[in-house]
């Protein structure tokens, strides 16, 4: 990795009036959280991903899907933010009004590192929601669900499901609109720890570049959107972000 590339990204990060950062699974992997595919190891390796991450799969076997997500939730709660999470939060606080942080991750590590305003494109694994709208039109509290695997509404039997975006579902409109706006408005976009294979999030780099931003991709391995980058830095988030965002 050329030192002049590092210096160019670092300099722009310190003077840009608007910086958008998109993080993916590699960001959390350094904190010990398995990527989606890695989480399907062992007992779960015989299942198709759609069986564990789709409404159809959940309806077919709610208990199995609930148990898989229970394991993933446990791993998230046990994980700690790494140096990359901390560097982003410190940068955002130091340069007030500059950073917009967008994540494909469903954990809460950015928030625990000190950046609660993170835009979450794929939901929140720790925040359950009802599978379907209440047939009685009531605004039942999720916390009041009856125990079980998965818990059910005491009134209508509606199931709780993980608050993540499953295969075949649309991303939250407000979150995606905010992410696209940030990509169009930024001077610098950092794409960190993502393979670039999951759309529409992967398209944000192209949105930023078309709008005139410089794009830097930080990843240990090649991604599917490296051709959108002005700079490609091979390395991990915990290694590169503290260096690139350091004010000293």
Phi and psi at 160, nearest 5°, equal -80, 145
Structure tokens at 225: 């959107």
Determine whether domain 1-33+79-122+171-248 maps to CATH 3.30.70.920: no
Residue ranges, the chain, pLDDT below 50:
none
Q: Are 218 and 192 in contact (CB under 8 A)?
A: yes
In 144-177, which positions are buried (b, 16+ CB within 10 angstroms) versus exposed (e)? ebeeeebbbbeeeebbbbbbbbbeeeebbeebbe
- Between helix 83-94 and helix 237-244 the angle, nearest 10°, is 20
Q: What is the pLDDT of residue 50?
A: 82
pLDDT per residue as tens digits for the range 153-210: 988 889 999 999 999 999 999 999 999 999 999 999 999 999 888 899 999 999 999 9
* Structure tokens given for 51: 């069986």
Ordered by start, the domain boundaries in the chain are 1-33+79-122+171-248
What is the SS3 assignment for 190-236? EEECCCCCCCCHHHHHHHHHHCCCEEEEECCCCCCCHHHCCEEECCC
Q: How far apart are CA 203 and CA 4, in angstroms?
A: 27
For residues 242 and 197, is the Cβ–Cβ distance under 8 A? no
Q: What is the reported pLDDT for 157?
A: 87
Give the pLDDT score at 127.
94
pLDDT value, residue 159: 93
Distances from the Cα of 15 to the Cαs of 98, 127, 229, 245, in angstroms? 10, 37, 19, 11
Rounded to whole angstroms, the Cα distance separating 180 from 216 reads 17
Q: Residue 100: in which H helix or E strand, if any?
A: strand 99-103
Q: Which residues contact residue 13 at a Cβ distance below 8 angstroms, ignoring those fewer than 6 apart?
A: 19, 91, 188, 190, 244, 245
* Three-class secondary structure of residue 90 per DSSP: helix
- Among candidate residues 85, 110, 122, 230, the one labeled active-site is 122
| Tokens of residue 46, six digits | 């015989």
pLDDT of residue 144: 83
Q: Provide φ and ψ at 147, rounded to 5°.
A: -60, 150
- Using DSSP's 3-state secondary structure scheme, residue 23 falls into strand
Report the alpha-carbon distance of residue 146 to residue 124 in Å, rounded.
21
What is the Cα–Cα distance from 69 to 61, expressed in whole angstroms? 13
Q: Is 110 a catalytic residue?
A: no
Cα(170)–Cα(209) distance, integer angstroms: 24
């Amino acid at each position: 990795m050329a030192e002049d590339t590092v210096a160019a990204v670092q300099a722009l990060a310190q003077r840009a009036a608007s910086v958008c950062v998109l993080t993916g699974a590699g960001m959390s992997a350094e904190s010990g959280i398995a990527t989606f595919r890695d989480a399907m190891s062992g007992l779960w390796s015989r299942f198709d991903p759609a069986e564990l991450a789709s409404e159809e799969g959940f309806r077919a076997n709610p208990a199995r899907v609930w148990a898989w997500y229970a394991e993933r939730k446990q791993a998230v709660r046990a994980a700690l933010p790494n140096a990359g999470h901390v560097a982003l939060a410190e940068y955002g606080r130091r340069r007030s009004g500059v950073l917009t942080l967008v994540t494909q991750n469903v954990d809460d590590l950015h928030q625990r590192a000190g950046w609660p305003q993170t835009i979450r494109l794929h939901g929140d694994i720790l925040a359950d929601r009802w599978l379907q709208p209440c047939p009685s039109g009531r605004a039942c509290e999720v916390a009041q669900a009856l125990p079980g695997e998965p818990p059910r509404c005491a009134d209508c039997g509606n199931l709780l499901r993980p608050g993540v975006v499953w295969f075949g579902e649309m991303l939250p409109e407000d979150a995606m609109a905010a992410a696209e706006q940030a990509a169009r408005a930024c001077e610098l976009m950092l794409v960190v720890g993502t393979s670039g294979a999951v759309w529409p999030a992967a398209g944000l780099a192209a949105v930023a570049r078309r709008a005139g931003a410089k794009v830097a991709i930080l990843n240990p391995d090649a991604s599917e959107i490296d051709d959108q980058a002005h700079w490609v830095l091979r390395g991990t988030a915990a290694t590169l972000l503290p260096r690139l965002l350091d004010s000293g």
